[in-house]
Amino acid sequence: MYLSFGKRVFDIIVSGILIVLTSWLFVLIVLAYWLSFNFPFFFRQPRLGKGERVFELVKFRTLTKDSIKPFALGTFLRFTSLDELPQLFQVLSGKMSLVGPRPLPVAYQQLFSAEQHRRHDVLPGLTGWAQVNGRHSISWQKKFELDNYYLEHLSLALDIKILVMTVGTLFSFKKDVSLTEEKFTGN
């Protein structure tokens, strides 16, 4: 029942509350972009969603337009994970969930094994079991194992546990190593 109905209700309620509570942050971040003349504000990229349908992931842009290096505001947003805030609207609209496997680039679709394709049985998440258990410091194989663990044990209790662990992860202020993470090449 939770997967078919409750999870969506949970997503709507919690993402709506979080949007209201963080609206002042949206305003400050957009103002910082305006003052630093860093346009556009948003980074958009096609990603794989539920059923492997493609959707456009939206984040605050953190990298310079002509390189893979973050600019000053982008470095701060990546360090604090505030670049992910726009995805709350994608949760509210039903393209994403608060908790689930992170959406991966479309280019990876042909590289997944049959077992790895299972991660698309649910909506992609703003956070997930792999994110709170290593994020970028674990192998791709381990990430897929953790995604499948989530699928097999999906419940309100596990979603709440992951959200609580995410808050702890956010306030640990670990160095962002996502730009140096190896790309997925299959297997």
- 66, 156, 182 from 101: Cα distances, Å: 29, 15, 18
**Cβ partners under 8 Å of residue 101, min gap 6:** 119, 120, 122, 124, 125, 128, 130, 147, 150, 151
Report CA 27 to chain centroid distance, whole Å. 21
Predicted confidence pLDDT, tens digits, the chain (187 residues)? 787 889 999 999 999 999 999 999 999 999 999 998 878 889 999 999 999 999 999 999 998 877 778 888 988 998 888 999 999 999 999 999 999 999 999 999 999 888 899 999 999 999 999 999 987 788 889 999 999 999 999 999 999 999 999 998 877 666 665 555 677 777 6
- Residue 38 confidence (pLDDT): 78
Domain boundaries, the chain: 2-176
DSSP letter (8 states) at residue 107: G
Angle between helical axes of 156-170 and 140-153 (0-180°, round to 10): 140
- pLDDT tens, 141-154? 999 999 999 999 99
Q: What is the DSSP letter of 74?
A: H
For residues 177 and 187, what is the distance between their CA atoms, to the nearest angstrom? 22
